Amino acid sequence: MADNIPIKSVLIRDGHVETDDPFNAIPALEAFDNHNAKDSVRLPNDVDLDRIKPHLGGLETVLIDFPVLSDGRGFSIARELRKNYGFKGQLIADGPLIPDQYVYALQCGFDAVRVDEKTYMRQSESDWFSAMDAFHATYQRGYAFKNGPAVSIFDARKTSQHGQTSNDLYFGLSAEQSLKRAISEYTGGIVLASSLGVDSAVLLHMVAQIDKSVPVIFLDTGKHFRETLGYRDLLVADLGLTDFRNVIPDRADLKKLDPKGTLNETDPDACCGLRKVAPLDGAISGFAARITGRKRYQTPERRDMPILETGGRQVKINPLAYWTAKDVTAYMRKHDLPPHPMLALGYLSIGCQPCTTRVAEGEDPRAGRWRNHDKTECGIHYINGKWVPIPDKKTYEVF
């Protein structure tokens, strides 16, 4: 980016920075109420999509407001427009987004992000393009070129305003440093619960490099893909993990609550409670700290997630909190780690077989989980174009 060139706003799209801003005059949602709809519209992040549903066929461009970087409701609106409303035009995320949010925006169906001059100049072009590359190089269709050169890892910590002022004692540490410190501080009282999903090899490898005796828990729900179980055995053997614990649901509970093995078809929440939540709760209850693979970019609710998460009954260490999808791929390549065999078949987020489907082009990575159900791992859902809280419904945060 050339110095001393004033930029009011920029559009970041397809590897290019566009300084011509064609979106200043896009009308707000009120234009529809005035029967003056054009081919473009700007939507607030609390929009009721039913208001514009009749007009979507004639719209070419939709801008979605992101008033602050910590408000991620626009991501859910984009997913809803693409998945349930079939919108085929261009979607633009407009607001003070940062590079580590760019990947998630693309995964949710946005074509570009529009940021103000101050936000854009806080980063370098390489930061934006490194983040952008992640969408094309990782989850889209598997870890291609596994043995290719490792790429530089974008570190989102430097763009996190929240992290700079938080009480996170691990802020600023790399993933490896976070793990080393946690394993040292919680010796004998720390556990890693692994789903053996598409990202799992990263943390398993990191832990094995530090201490192969750290307990690792895997929930064998009885509903996994055979490929997942084979992947489990491969990684445990290759990495030399010495305390791998295969946890199964209580057989008496299975016989009582799911005698036919079809509970997932009628009540997926109850099935998760029976096969995942209850066994995991029992397996980790004696540990003071738990290592997770959660990342900030994955959901709006995780946007400000710290590396060291305290305050609950169990400390959580999230070493990959600031990682992007590109970082995961870079680590997999660098250490020549085998990808999950289902990844190349279009399964970008892998759970139990009955509740996991392939992800189509343009869908976000978790679109294949509990498809056609309201169930997510969040306590608030975006249903039929509206924000709908789910009262008194237990959140099943598995891995």
Contacts 24+ apart (CB under 8 A), 340-348: 340/196, 340/197, 340/198, 340/200, 340/201, 340/227, 340/228, 340/231, 341/227, 341/230, 341/231, 342/198, 342/225, 342/227, 342/228, 343/142, 343/143, 343/198, 344/141, 344/142, 346/141, 347/198, 348/139, 348/198
Pair 52, 29: CB distance under 8 Å: yes
What is the spatial distance between Cα 96 and Cα 66, in angstroms, rounded to a whole number? 7
The DSSP output letter for 49 is G
CA distances from 167 to 126, 172, 174, 181, 346 (A): 29, 12, 17, 17, 39
Q: Is position 378 annotated as part of the catalytic site? A: yes
Q: How far is CA 324 from its chain centroid? A: 9
Pair 37, 17: CB distance under 8 Å: no
Where do the DSSP E strands lie in the chain? 9-13, 16-18, 40-43, 61-65, 90-94, 112-116, 190-194, 216-219, 244-247, 289-291, 308-309, 315-317, 380-383, 386-389
What is the spatial distance between Cα 225 and Cα 237, in angstroms, rounded to a whole number? 19
Pair 203, 332: CB distance under 8 Å: no
Q: How many helices, marked H, and strands, marked E, lie in the chain?
A: 14, 14
Pair 325, 349: CB distance under 8 Å: no
Supply 134's token pair.
Answer: 């992640």
- Report the catalytic residues: 378
